[in-house]
Chains A and B, each alone.
Chain A
Amino acid sequence: MAVRLVAVALCGLAAVWFGIRVFRTRSMVRSALALLFAMAALGGLFLALEAEFLGVLQLMMMATEMAVMAIFMVMYMMDPGGLGQMEMTHQKRLARGAGALGGLGAAALAVGLALGGGWGPISAAAPSPAAQNHDLGIELMERSMMIFETAGVTILVAMVAATAVALGRRR
C-alpha cells in the first residue's frame, strides 16, 4: 500500500514537472521531449495503479505520438531550437487565471469529496493483469462492441479527413 502510494506520487510528480517544462522552454524540441517524458510518467503511474495493460498501451502509444509530434515541430516551426528567443505566448494573465482556477477547482473537489466520504467504499485489490486483459476483451467484444466499432470508424474518418485537409486543392 505504502509502496504503491510512493510510486503513484513519484510518477505523478514527474508527470507534473515535465508538464510544466513543456511550457517553460523556448525550444520546441525540448517541449516535445518534455511532453514525451510527462506521458511516459503517466504510463508509470498507470502501472503503479495496477492497470498494467493501460500503462503499457500509454507508453507505446505516447512514445510513437511524441516522435511524430517532434518531426512536425521541426518541419513547421520557424525556430524549433529556440535559439532566436521568439516570444510564443499571449494572454498570459488570462491563461494563468484559467489554469489556476481549473486546477485548484478540480483539486478542491477531489479533496472535499475525500474528506466528506463522498467516494463510497474504496476497493483494496485490483484484478490480476491476466484477468484484466480477459475481462477487457470480453467488454470490448460484447457490451461495448458498438462503442469500439464507432471508435474504429471515427479513426478512419479522421484519417481520411486529415489527409484531405492536408492535401489541399489541386489544380
Chain B
Amino acid sequence: MVFGLEGWIVFWVLFVVFVFLGFYGSRWRKGDLSQLHEWALAGRKLGVFLVWFLVGADLYTAYTFVAIPSLEYASGSLAFFAVPYVSITFAVAMLFMPILWEKSRQKGYITAADFVQDVFNSKILAVLIALTGIIAELPYIALQIDGMRAVLSVMLFGYSGVKAVSEWALIISFIILAAFVYTSGLRGATLGAVFKDVLIWISVIALIVVVPLKYGGFTTAFADAAKAHSFVSGLEALKPTFASAYVSLFIGSALALYLYPHAVNGSLSAESKSKLRMSTALLPIYGIGLAILAIMGILVYSDPAALNITKVLSGLASIPAIAVTAFPQWFAAIILLGIFVGGLVPAAIMAIAQANLLTRNIIKPLKRDLSPKAETEISKWASVAFKFIALAFVFLTPLTYAVQLQLLGGIIILTTLPAVFIGLLTNKLEKYSLIVGWFVSLVASIYLVLLANHFKTLSTSSYVLFGHPIFIGIIGLGINLAIVAIGTIIKFAIKK
C-alpha cells in the first residue's frame, strides 16, 4: 500500500469541492440554460482569463499527465514532440479561431459544421464534418479515462480487487460528472477547469522543485534511465531516424487541435475576438508545465519506489507514482486529484462538443421543427450518452499506448482541415472535391494505421514513406489537399 487513509480523506474532500463547483456553475453568471448557446458556450461571455483556463483545460489533460510522460518513459525523446506542438498549435489558433469567432457571432454558429454548411452550402458536407468530429473525440475521451484509471490504480496499489474497485469508481465519477454537466453545461466545466488548474499548477511546481533535488538531479536521472534500458528514439536527444516522425507529429498535432469540436467550442465561448486572440497567444506559456511533466518520464528512473510501481502497472502510472512516493500523503492527494479531475473536465467539455454536433448538424436537419428548448434537451442527454459510450469503449478495449489514442483522433479530425481552415479563408473551394478528399483521405489514413500496426493493437501512428517514418495524419492531409486542389482547379478551368 502506497496510499493510506490520510491521502484518501484529502482526495475525497477535494473531490466534493470539485463536484460542488460543478453544480454551482448553473447559478454562476446566470443565463437561460434551456438555450443551447447558454448551456454549451456559457453564454459566450468568457474573458481572457477564463478562456485561458477553459482552453488550457483542454490542453492539460490526461494527454499531458499520463500519455506524454509514459511515451517519454518508454520510448524517450520522441515524446518531446508535444512541446513544439503546443507552441505551434496556438499560432495556428490565433490566426484561424478569431475569424471563426467573428463569423459565428454574426451568423449564430455553434459548431464548425454550422459554418461549413453555410459557406459551402452543402448539408452533406456539414453532416460529414459533424460525424468526423464526434468520432474523433471518442479516442480522445478514452485517453482521459485511461488517465483517471492510472490514478486509481496507483491509489489502490497494494490493495486487493483493484480492477473491480477502479471500474466502479470510474462509473460513479462519470455519473456525478454527467449530472453536473447536464445541469450546468459549460459553466460547470469552466469552474471545474479553474479549480483543477489551480491544483495542477501547485503540482507541477512542486514536482519540478522537489523531484530533481530529492533524487540527485537530471544527471543522475539520465544515467539511471540509460542503465534501465535503451530508448528507441533516443534519451538525451533525438536519434536522427526519428527526425521525420518528430517534425510531422508536431506539425500534424498542431494543425489538428483546433479542428476538434471541443477546441472550437472553447474558442467560441470567448467574450470578444481580441480577448480570444490574446488568451490563445498566451497559452504556450501554459505548455511549460507539459514539458516539465514529460521530463518526469525520465526522472522516475531515479525514484526506486516509483519505478517499482510503474514496472508493475505501466508507464502510464509514472506521475501518479512519483506523487505518492516523493510527497507526503496529503500533498500526493492534491496531485492525484488534479490528474483525476484533469481527465474528467476535458471529458466533459468534449462530450458537450459532441452533443452540439449531434443535435445541430445531424438531428436538426432531419427534424426541422425542433424547438430551441428541445434542441438543448437533446444535447444535454446526448452529452450524457457520449460519456458512457467512451467509458464502455475503455472497459472493452485493452490498455494501449495512450498517446496513440490522441494521435488516432488527430488523424481522423485532420480530414476536416480543408473544409474548415481553408474554408475560413476562401469560399472558392469546389465542394464535391471536399467531400471526395475527406472520404479518400479518411479511408487511406485508416488503412495506413492498420497497415503500420500490422492489423494488431494500436502501437504506432507513423507510416514509413521513402524510408522515413511520417505521422499518418500528415500523409492523409497531403492526399486530401491534392484532391481539393485538383477539383478546385478543374472548377475554375471549366468556368473559363
- B partners with A: no
**A interface residues (Cβ-Cβ under 8 A, vs B):** none
